[in-house]
Structure 1
Amino acid sequence: MDRLEAMAILLRVVDKGGFSAASRDLGMPLATVSRKVAELEAHIGTRLLVRTTRRVAPTEAGTAYVASARRILEEIDETERVAAGEFQAPRGELILTAPVLFGRLHILPVVTDFLAAYPEIDVRLLLSDRNLHFVDDHVDMAVRIGALPDSSMVATRVGTMRRVVCASPTLLAAHGTPQAPGDLARLPCVSFDFLSPAATWSFRPGGTGRTVDVPIRPRLSVSTAEAAVWAAARGVGATRVLHYQCAETVRAGALRIVLADFEPEPAPIHLLHAGRGALPSKMRVFLDFAAPRLRDALALL
């Protein structure tokens, strides 16, 4: 049995969600695809795939094996490219993920410049406000905003982002501009559930370094920052979002930032990738290309 070939076939079955789709993609008979995976499972001594009602998915052991197999095949591919003198010409598909609005405003411009600089690399940019899984979603690199959990991931910090409270001039004229976090009690608010799931907002009184939680009165709770900014601009209530999410509306004059002296620590922004030894060249060159450009762009916010 050619284990490397069997690994590659297994990955294609997982990526395509089934044996038939992998067979078509590989141009290989379905029976051959099934036999190669079965031989690999027999060699390892455990089941790697399970059929669900909709697709083929890896078992618990299969998930770990797929991740290792993907790493092994990438490292072999990288080694062959270096040996062939292609170290200076990275190629292949790079899969990135980022929050929707942040990705559109800040990652997409970097990606378009990167594609021009590296014509042999293709990029698949997955914009999602949920954190995609590196293995399950086949992600190479991710943008994460906020504190990172302890993990084996490698993080490159590219900046920070303020968490701001903003309100429409009309609302402030009717209710008064808050001078301290406690003044929010007299303002209706729009709660952005992802950033502030509870009916409290955290603040850091100037010069203290400690945080305090202030109760708010949410007239409206929404699940996206775009909806929170839209509602706040129309006077429904004050809202708290990340600065980039409201910056354009603030520049247009439809919202004003308040309580700037009481903002909590800015949220860190990182480019994240799996900690798995030497990076494939496509990832290394993107990291070197993107990190300084993102730092420069975020420094202007």
Structure 2
Amino acid sequence: MDRFEAMSLLVAVTEHGSLSAAGRATRVPLATLSRKISDLEALLGTRLLVRTTRKITLTDAGIAYVAAARRILEEVENAEREAAGEFTAPKGELVITAPTMFGRLHVLPVVADFLTAFPEINVRLILADRNVDLVGDHVDMAVRIGKLPDSSMVATQVGVMRTVTCASPALLAGMGAHGALHSPDDLSGLPCVTVDTPMPSPPWRFRDPRSGALMDVAIVPRLAVTTPEAAAQAAVLKVGVVRLLHYQVIDAVERGALQIVFEAYEPAPVPVHLVHALRGQMPLKMRRFLDFAAPRLRQALGDMASKGDGGADVPMTVRNATAALQTRRQPG
């Protein structure tokens, strides 16, 4: 049996939570995966996994073995990288993931310039509106928008992102003087557009500008769509009010097709990070991309935050956060 393959499959099972999920991630048939782990258990003379109908858990021996397997596999990977010269020269394949629309608008141009600057590095760019498993899917670096959970990942903040509420000027004009939007409470009864998710539509969260208290406004969507681009376009077509990340509507706002409302009630902007897994020595291809991409993304996000009439339409919290980030990054 291939012991390293069996180790890898066992680690994949623990990371994905089930044999079937690990089989999908590794593209190994379920029967084959199960057999290889059984063969490993037979070789070791002990059970590593406890299988039930609901979940899989590690035995005490399994916990110790998986920890050792992770270390061995990481050392093997580092040895392969070193043999390939990835620690002495920026070369090889770099796998990057980002949200679909943000990646297309802001990450892809950076990647294109990076490829010109580093001809011996190839990039595989995964655009997906889900948090790809960096370790399990062998991804080198990710762009993440939003607060990060506590983890062993290393994060470099490159900016912040507003969450904005928008409507078509034509829709607002059709409401008349008595239907003007002054606060999020005015959303009651108005048609809204949301991005569909498997979970029930959550309330839209705002922040009271006077007290700072959070306000949740229940929304009954007139239209639910599956992508932010479609939600923004539906708002342009006067279907209803939409609430999206700033970058998802900025083009429509700049050309006057959408108008931002409730700016004073916006929640605090969320951070944007470049994230990578913690490892002993970072391959040069990753270090070069981090050094290349971070300032360019920071500049793009800073320009976006300052859009408007002298910054007057940007909430103070965004300008302060952006200025603070830039100050921290300036050389001493």
TM-score of the pair, normalised by structure 2 = 0.70
Report the Cα distance in structure 1 between the residues aligned to 2:198 and 2:204, rounded to whole angstroms.
9
1:17: which partner in 2? Answer: 27
Residue 188 of structure 2 aligns to a residue in which SS?
A: helix
**After superposition, what is the alpha-carbon deviation per residue over 1:155-179, rounded to whole angstroms, capped at 9, x for unaligned?**
1111111000001111111224411
Q: Is the 8 A contact 2:90 2:285 kept in 1?
A: yes
Report the Cα distance in structure 2 between the residues aligned to 1:112 and 1:104, rounded to whole angstroms.
11
Report the Cα distance in structure 1 between the residues aligned to 2:282 and 2:241, rounded to whole angstroms.
44
**After superposition, what is the alpha-carbon deviation per residue over 1:205-248, rounded to whole angstroms, capped at 9, x for unaligned?**
11433211122332112232112111111111000000001111
Report the Cα distance in structure 2 between the residues aligned to 1:65 and 1:99, rounded to whole angstroms.
33
1:274 aligns to 2:277 (yes or no): yes
Report the Cα distance in structure 2 between the residues aligned to 1:215 and 1:191, rounded to whole angstroms.
12
2:315: which partner in 1? Answer: none
| Aligned amino acid, residue 182 of structure 2 | Q
Match among 189, 193, 213 for residue 210 of structure 1: 213
| Aligned amino acid, residue 218 of structure 1 | P
- Could you tell me which runs of 5 or more consecutive residues in structure 1 were left unpaired when the two chains were aligned: 20-35, 49-58
Which is worse superposed, 155-164 or 191-200? 191-200
| Aligned amino acid, residue 110 of structure 2 | V
Which residues of 2 match residues 1-301 of structure 1 at below 5 A?
7=4, 17-18=27-28, 68-80=71-83, 89-175=89-175, 176-193=179-196, 198-301=201-304
Q: How far is the alpha carbon of 1:73 from its aligned partner?
A: 2.7
Q: How far is the alpha carbon of 1:259 from its aligned partner?
A: 0.7
Q: How far is the alpha carbon of 1:251 from its aligned partner?
A: 1.6
| Aligned amino acid, residue 148 of structure 2 | L
Which is worse superposed, 190-199 or 259-268? 190-199
| Aligned amino acid, residue 231 of structure 2 | A
Residues 196 and 47 from structure 1, CA distance in 2 versus in 1: closer, same or farther, beyond 3 angstroms?
A: closer
Q: How far is the alpha carbon of 1:275 from its aligned partner?
A: 1.5
Residues 256 and 66 from structure 1, CA distance in 2 versus in 1: closer, same or farther, beyond 3 angstroms?
A: farther
Report the Cα distance in structure 1 between the residues aligned to 2:26 and 2:214, rounded to whole angstroms.
48
Residues 219 and 38 from structure 1, CA distance in 2 versus in 1: closer, same or farther, beyond 3 angstroms?
A: closer
**After superposition, what is the alpha-carbon deviation per residue over 1:7-42, rounded to whole angstroms, capped at 9, x for unaligned?**
489869x987359xxxxxxxxxxxxxxxx9999887
Residue 253 of structure 1 aligns to a residue in which SS?
A: coil
Residues 63 and 164 from structure 1, CA distance in 2 versus in 1: closer, same or farther, beyond 3 angstroms?
A: farther
Report the Cα distance in structure 2 between the residues aligned to 1:125 and 1:142, rounded to whole angstroms.
10
Q: How far is the alpha carbon of 1:134 from its aligned partner?
A: 1.6
Q: How far is the alpha carbon of 1:195 from its aligned partner?
A: 12
Q: How far is the alpha carbon of 1:258 from its aligned partner?
A: 0.7
Q: How far is the alpha carbon of 1:6 from its aligned partner?
A: 6.3
Choose between structure 1 and 2: higher strand proportion.
1
| Aligned amino acid, residue 266 of structure 1 | P
Q: Is the 8 A contact 1:161 1:266 kept in 2?
A: yes
Q: Is the 8 A contact 1:195 1:241 kept in 2?
A: no
Residues 99 and 91 from structure 1, CA distance in 2 versus in 1: closer, same or farther, beyond 3 angstroms?
A: same
Q: How far is the alpha carbon of 1:118 from its aligned partner?
A: 1.1
Residue 137 of structure 1 aligns to a residue in which SS?
A: coil
Residue 217 of structure 1 aligns to a residue in which SS?
A: coil
Report the Cα distance in structure 1 between the residues aligned to 2:303 and 2:165, rounded to whole angstroms.
19
Which is worse superposed, 65-74 or 158-167? 65-74
Q: Is the 8 A contact 1:166 1:239 kept in 2?
A: yes
Residue 160 of structure 1 aligns to a residue in which SS?
A: strand
Q: Is the 8 A contact 1:194 1:224 kept in 2?
A: no
Task: Output the aligned Cα RMSD.
Answer: 3.5
Which is worse superposed, 232-241 or 216-225? 216-225
Report the Cα distance in structure 2 between the residues aligned to 1:147 and 1:289, rounded to whole angstroms.
23
TM-score of the pair, normalised by structure 1 = 0.77
Residues 281 and 184 from structure 1, CA distance in 2 versus in 1: closer, same or farther, beyond 3 angstroms?
A: same
Report the Cα distance in structure 2 between the residues aligned to 1:125 and 1:44, rounded to whole angstroms.
39
Residues 216 and 6 from structure 1, CA distance in 2 versus in 1: closer, same or farther, beyond 3 angstroms?
A: closer
Q: Is the 8 A contact 2:90 2:118 kept in 1?
A: yes
| Aligned amino acid, residue 27 of structure 2 | G
